[in-house]
Structure 1
Amino acid sequence: MSTGTPVPLALAPARRDVLARRIRLLVAATITYNVVETVVALTAGALASSTALVGFGLDSVIEVSSAAAVAWQFSASGHEQRQARERRTLRIIAVSFFALAGYVAVDAVRALTGTGESERSLPGIVIAALSLAVMPVLSAAQRRAGRELDSASAVADSRQTLLCAHLSAALLAGLVLNAALGWSWADPAAALVIAALAVKEGRDAWQGTGCCGATRTGGC
């Protein structure tokens, strides 16, 4: 007698190969964009003494390393090899998040206590706005492919890409408030938001909850 619970269908090998190629292409696009984003954000952040911009640039570095780890995973020739590499990939993503959170939090507290004050940064505003437009598109495409392929690491990486969009929004708000109203405290405040989000995403990646928000036990 049927229980009424749908039984998930196994993906055909050909479909798995198509999804794996799609993820590799999306990862390549993410890496390319983030390399540009890193250079702009770190340069602009250094010139403006902006904690939030430097933190955003470092997050871009982490996104490159995370995407490279996923690319390494999906460079394996078969599904079994990819699964064997997945846990290590998730660990790399998690540790990267924690490192980012620690650095940004310390630097933000330093700025808030008056040992540093950020200047206005038009390049920072431009790159934050551009990232806010680009990152959700890349994230959604990779998340769909990762979920269909049942890959926690691909979904975790897509969530890191989406985090970049959230960080872009926080960064943009802080930079605009500083530029328009002279609220220099808005910059480190935005950086603390970045640090808090990074801790959450790092914890989720470490626990293997990149897939559908639940600990991975064999499927979404």
Structure 2
Amino acid sequence: MEKERFRQAGLKLEYATLAWNLISFIPMIMLSQAQNSLSLFGFGIDSLIEVLASVVVIWQLKAVSKHNEQLAIKIIGVSFLLLSTYLIVQTFFGLHRQLAPQPSLITIFWLILTALVMFALAAGKQHFGRLLENPVLIAESKVTVIDGLLAVSVLTGLLFIKYLGWSWMDMASTVIIALYGFREAFHSFKSKAK
């Protein structure tokens, strides 16, 4: 009975993540266009990848099996790989375009709120993933951490651009997050279901 309660808690966290990212996607894309920001556009794309990861975990939590578990971990690994590859490509194009986005207060507020929400959701997923001994929920918690880190990276980059003129900070932060994502993708591809 306790395991079912933990599973339900994990599902609720995934539904919350799914809802947040579906709500975030369109405003981030619109703000990225209005503010001429590649990093905000990348953040919007990240929201779609997080939606994919959440759908995979919801599917796996509803139909737990060793095969589903292993497949879900691989799909999450692919989402890490896609996100990280996209971030590297975005950084490359950003260097060539040399954009200097100007953040709005709504962008700053949304990025702060998103980071807080993502880190809280990730902590909950990690907690219940361990209680359930569910590597899929644990792996997806790391995708959620990347979402939070990306929000912090985009925010930091925009603030450094606005106040110090250091446009390279946005791209440097993005590359660090991409490298973390590649590392997690590699671990996902190597992992075995319990």
TM over 0.5: yes
Per the alignment, in what secondary structure is the counterpart of residue 120 of structure 1?
Answer: coil
Question: Quick check: 1:185 aligned with 2:172?
Answer: no
Q: 1:132·1:165 contact (CA, 8 Å) conserved in 2?
A: yes
Cα 1:133–1:199 change in 2 (3 A) is same
Residue range with higher mean Cα deviation, 177-186 or 98-107: 177-186
Q: 1:167·1:194 contact (CA, 8 Å) conserved in 2?
A: yes
Q: Which of 1 and 2 has greater Rg?
A: 1
Query: How far does residue 217 in structure 1 lie from its aligned partner after superposition?
Result: 6.4
Query: How far does residue 141 in structure 1 lie from its aligned partner after superposition?
Result: 1.2
> Which structure 2 segments of 5+ residues have no match?
none
State the AA in 1 paired with 2:158.
Answer: L
Question: Quick check: 1:121 aligned with 2:103?
Answer: yes
Partner of residue 148 from structure 2, selected from 165, 171, 174? 165
Q: 2:153·2:170 contact (CA, 8 Å) conserved in 1?
A: no
Aligned-pair Cα RMSD in Å: 1.7
Cα 1:196–1:180 change in 2 (3 A) is same
CA–CA distance in 2 between the matches of 1:132 and 1:179?
20
Partner of residue 64 from structure 1, selected from 33, 51, 55? 51
Among all aligned residue pairs of Structure 1 and Structure 2, give the percentage whose two residues are the same amino acid.
28
Question: Quick check: 1:89 aligned with 2:72?
Answer: yes
Partner of residue 23 from structure 1, selected from 10, 17, 20? 10
Matched residue, 1:105: 88
Matched residue, 1:55: 42
Matched residue, 2:129: 146
Summarize deviations over 1:112-134 as a string: whole Å, max 9, x none.
Answer: 2x324132122332222112211
CA–CA distance in 2 between the matches of 1:132 and 1:186?
18
Matched residue, 1:46: 33
CA–CA distance in 2 between the matches of 1:203 and 1:189?
21
CA–CA distance in 1 between the matches of 2:189 and 2:34?
35
| Runs of 4+ in structure 1 over 3 Å off | none
CA–CA distance in 1 between the matches of 2:22 and 2:193?
34
CA–CA distance in 1 between the matches of 2:28 and 2:189?
27
Cα 1:110–1:84 change in 2 (3 A) is same
Question: Quick check: 1:155 aligned with 2:138?
Answer: yes
Q: 1:170·1:193 contact (CA, 8 Å) conserved in 2?
A: no
Question: Quick check: 1:37 aligned with 2:19?
Answer: no
- Size of the aligned set, in residue pairs, is 193
State the AA in 2 paired with 1:21.
Answer: Q
Partner of residue 118 from structure 2, selected from 135, 142, 157? 135
Per the alignment, in what secondary structure is the counterpart of residue 65 of structure 2?
Answer: helix
Cα 1:45–1:139 change in 2 (3 A) is same
Q: State the TM-score, normalizing by the size of structure 2.
A: 0.90
Summarize deviations over 1:115-170 as a string: whole Å, max 9, x none.
Answer: 24132122332222112211121111111111111110000111111222222222
Q: State the TM-score, normalizing by the size of structure 1.
A: 0.81
Q: 1:89·1:153 contact (CA, 8 Å) conserved in 2?
A: yes
